[in-house]
Structures are given as C-alpha cells and as structure tokens.
Amino acid sequence: MKIQYLGTAAAEGWPGLFCRCEVCRRAREAGGKNIRTRSQALIDDAILMDFPPDTYLHMLRDGLPLPEIRTLLLTHSHQDHWYPEDLAFRGEGFSHDIDGILEIYGNDACAKRLEAILPIVGQGMMDAMRAHYNEVTAFSPFETQGYRVTPLKALHNRAENCLIYLIEKDGKSLLYANDTGLFPQETWEYLRGRKLDLVSMDCTMQQIPEGTNHMGLADNAELCRRLGEAGCTHEGTKYVITHFSHNGGLLHEELEERARPLGFLTAYDGMTLSF
C-alpha cells in the first residue's frame, strides 16, 4: 500500500490564514516543508481521505487525480475536513467527460453538511454531481474497490460521531487516526490483535500533551505503547505524525528532532510512503 500526505496542517493551515505569530512568521520565512495545507491524504491513488478547502490546491500542486477518484472517506464534519461546496463543481456544466460515481462514506453530521448546501447550489446541481453518499457507523466494515474499510470511534467532537479508519487490502493494513485523542475503549477493544503496518496519528499539539480531542507527541508515544500491548504492531510497523497546528510551536526540522527518537516519521505536504 501507499499513502501520500497532501495536507498536514490543522484547521487554520500553517502559516495560519490570518496569523501574525512568531511561529507563523518563521514558517513563512523558512518555506519548504514548513508550509502546510489543510489535512488530506490519498491511499494507493484510489481512496481520498477527507475533502478540505485546499483540495483544489492539492489537485494543482500534487497532481491529485480528482476525476479518477471513486472513494472518499470522511472523518467528521469540521470544515477543514469536509467542504462539500466544492464538490458541487463535479456536476455537469462544471466538469465534463467524467464517468463513474464517486462513493462518499461518512457519518450523519457530514450528511447534514452536504444537505445544507442545497440552498446554495440547488437540488439539480446536487443530482448532477455524479456522487453517492453512504452513511456509515463505527465498527461496521464495508467493501470499496477491493479494500475492507472499518470506521472506528474517535475521541474528538462530542457533538458528533467522529471517525477514524482501519483500511485493509492484500494482507496490508493502515490505521488513519486524524482528529482524535487517545482512543475510546470500544476502539481499543476492536483493534486488539489486529496487525497494523502503518499508523498515521494526529499530532496537532506537538510538544503540548492533549489527549482528549487531539494529540501531542507524548500522547502519540502512549498510543503506540498501548497498540504494542494490544498486539497491533510489529517490528516493521511505520508510525507517522501529521495534522499540526502552529500552536504547537515547532517548525518541521524542530519537530523531526523530537519525533525521531520516538520512532515517528514527521509528515509534510507531498510526502509519500509505501509499506
């Protein structure tokens, strides 16, 4: 399997959209891996994880093959992960020579956000966008394009059923755990004994422990320790941190220096890993 990190920032992006803090100033000056867009990833050029406002930029900058994507997995309804207004431009009149249906999988809150744009784009546009929404719930696996996908319960916004995903194909498995603190008990119970080849972890707060809605490095270390105790990891398991806020205070190289001794790879926009 392969994962490409298209966006690795938290909601405000990095540098923050309107921010003048010292950390954002340093990121602007340093450039390169310190410039981070809103969170998104692509698995095997087939499964798109989340649909943020920066999806258009990812198409231009990274060659994201949007017309060919057939599966979109949504973690939750926050705008930096689900911006359905742009999905309307998949409709006829805006996009030509598209074949196939985009299957979207997400929770009930994401479905409501999609419905909420109807007064803006109109029912006709929604009908023409050649997409189908599938409402999913935690611990109910489904099949898509030869992948077995299991939504798992996240620890994030208590107002909705936020999800992380276990994705499996051909004996390989990926745990995509963005926008979550240390997992709820039901998720730990489900994961016990399931082997993971790559663990992609929220590290929004970096050097600041958080654990309840997001994670920092200390939380990531605890998460990996518990995954090991649960029999989920092996000698070759890769651990990746992503989804960074400028409030964590560390530029890319500074974060790498702290993450490397813990055995973590630090994601940046455009990074691709095979496993």
Q: Which residues contact 159 (CB under 8 A, 6 or more apart)?
A: 109
CB 37 within 8 A of CB 78: no
Local confidence band at 125 (pLDDT 50, 70, 90 cut-offs): low
Question: How confident is the model over 224-256, as pLDDT tens digits?
Answer: 999 999 999 999 999 999 999 999 999 999 999
Q: CA nearest 12: which of 261, 246, 257? A: 246
Task: Supply the pTM of this predicted model.
Answer: 0.96
Question: How confident is the model over 34-80, as pLDDT tens digits?
Answer: 999 999 999 999 999 999 999 999 999 999 999 999 999 999 999 99
Residue 104 pLDDT? 96
Between CA 130 and CA 142 the distance in angstroms is 21
Domains and their CATH numbers in the chain = 2-274 (3.60.15.10)
Secondary structure E strands in 51-182: 71-73, 102-106, 131-135, 142-144, 147-153, 163-169, 172-177
> Sign of the CA dihedral 13, 19, 25, 26?
negative
Backbone region of residue 206 per phi and psi (left: phi > 0; alpha: psi in -120 to 50; beta: other values)? left
Between CA 1 and CA 238 the distance in angstroms is 12
